[in-house]
Copies of this chain bind each other. A is one copy, B any other.
Amino acid sequence: MLQIGVIGAGRIGQVHIRGICSGVPHAHIRGIAAPHITETVEALANNAGAEVLTQDFRALLRDPKIDAVLICSPTDTHADISVEALAAGKHVFCEKPVDLGLVKIQTVIDAVEASGLKYQVGFNRRFDHNFQALRRTVADGRIGQVHMVKICSRDSEPPTARFIPSSGGLFLDMSVHDLDMARYLSGSEVDEVYAAGSVLVDEAIGRAGDVDTAAILLKLRSGALALIDNSRQAVYGYDQRAEVFGSLGCVSIGNDAPSTAVLSTAAGITAEKPLWFFLERYLPAFQEEVRQFIDAIENDYPVPVGIQDAREATLLAMACARSAREGRPVSMAEFR
């Protein structure tokens, strides 16, 4: 039984605590650290049978019984806590993004390499049942050689303009997931990006210096091409689809809906909208990624998505931002 410490018990921390309780074998939540210990957190700790409940995350790092920590604290603390946790000899699962800047990501890379410990990054979408089915189909060769990857990723609701400055912008905040997915689905690195952005959803986002609508064209090292489209708003619900074309066919995935109900009336044939909230859509994925993290520790497997993947996705997002800003294709060689 691996002993787990969870650092941060906000929305995503609670998702992980519940997920581990209900279905991650060989993992026990020994400790939870949260700056404010609310009633909800206390109930969760009780339910989980957690022995330690503390406001000081370092108490978990010092606890010799704890094997691994999940870092679910605010983004700007991810890198520093990662380094501390690795120094304390803990395996680390860190929510994404590890950091918005390359310098801090590099300190984590160095710390991971020095430690020999497992370090997994929370690119949850790789563990979604739909994206896994897509990847598996491609990896099994069922569509032959990959020719093109298409990813559609649209948020149900735009963030407030106030959030924009700290977000890193659409490419680093949203597209980064899709850029990671393009690498994951194709099994190829990216050589060049061309990105275009527009402000069509909310002018305040434009005034904050960002775009809310984007299209990206990637040239992959394999010769394949990839297309990504993003929007900060999809009024019909969180829209996360993808399609991969190859020499033997194509495979596509659609959205999950609350039910399969279809209503036929004089007004038309109407199905349910996609799940609205990303936590709802990806709930099982949050459990699955931790399950595989535990597996990787127990069996000394490589983690399914590591710090280099995080760095690569960040570089690609930065290249997209530069491409959109300068109106030209950007070679990844500029970043290497």
Closest to A271 in B: B269
For A152, the chain B residues whose CB sits under 8 A away are 150
Interface residues of A in 223-259 (CB under 8 A from B): 223-227, 229, 231, 233-237, 239, 245, 247-259
Tell me the smallest distance from the CB of A151 to a CB of chain B, in Å.
Answer: 11
For A229, the chain B residues whose CB sits under 8 A away are 148, 150, 225, 227, 245
Number of interface residues of A (CB under 8 A): 79
For A102, the chain B residues whose CB sits under 8 A away are none
The answer on a CB contact under 8 Å between B263 and A251 is yes
Q: Is A261 an interface residue (CB 8 A)?
A: yes
Q: Cα distance A46–B262 when bound, in Å?
A: 43
For A214, the chain B residues whose CB sits under 8 A away are 225
Annotate A1-41 by CB proximity to B: 1 below 8 A, 0 otherwise. Answer: 00000000000000000110111000010000000000000
Q: Is A325 an interface residue (CB 8 A)?
A: no
Annotate A307-330 by CB proximity to B: 1 below 8 A, 0 otherwise. Answer: 000000000000000000001110
The answer on a CB contact under 8 Å between A261 and B130 is yes
Q: Is A47 an interface residue (CB 8 A)?
A: yes
How many copies of this protein are present in the complex? 4
Q: Cα distance A320–B46 when bound, in Å?
A: 49
Binds B, one of A59-67, A81-89, A174-182, A192-200: A192-200
For A274, the chain B residues whose CB sits under 8 A away are 269
Binding site of A, secondary structure by majority: helix, strand, loop or mixed? Answer: mixed
Binds B, one of A119-127, A137-145, A294-302: A137-145
Q: Is A103 an interface residue (CB 8 A)?
A: no
Q: Is A215 an interface residue (CB 8 A)?
A: yes
Q: Cα distance A214–B233 when bound, in Å?
A: 28
Q: Is A333 an interface residue (CB 8 A)?
A: no
The answer on a CB contact under 8 Å between A260 and B142 is no
For A198, the chain B residues whose CB sits under 8 A away are 147, 223-225
The answer on a CB contact under 8 Å between B264 and A249 is yes
Q: Cα distance A33–B149 when bound, in Å?
A: 47
Tell me the smallest distance from the CB of A327 to a CB of chain B, in Å.
Answer: 6
The answer on a CB contact under 8 Å between B258 and A129 is yes
The answer on a CB contact under 8 Å between A260 and B255 is yes
Annotate A106-146 by CB proximity to B: 1 below 8 A, 0 otherwise. Answer: 00000000000000000000000110111001000011010
Q: Cα distance A280–B57 when bound, in Å?
A: 37
Q: Name which of A147, A150, A248, A261 has the most chain B CB atoms within 10 A of its CB.
A: A261
The answer on a CB contact under 8 Å between A134 and B261 is yes
Q: Is A270 an interface residue (CB 8 A)?
A: yes
A sample of 29 inter-chain contacts (CB < 8 A) reads A18-B22, A19-B22, A28-B47, A130-B261, A132-B259, A133-B259, A133-B260, A134-B261, A137-B261, A137-B263, A147-B201, A200-B223, A213-B225, A225-B229, A227-B227, A229-B245, A234-B245, A235-B265, A236-B264, A248-B266, A250-B263, A253-B261, A268-B273, A269-B270, A269-B271, A270-B271, A327-B329, A328-B328, A328-B329
Q: A19-B22, A129-B259 are in contact. List 14 more A-B contacts (CB 8 A).
A: A22-B22, A129-B258, A142-B265, A147-B231, A201-B247, A233-B247, A234-B249, A249-B266, A250-B263, A253-B261, A254-B262, A269-B271, A270-B270, A329-B329
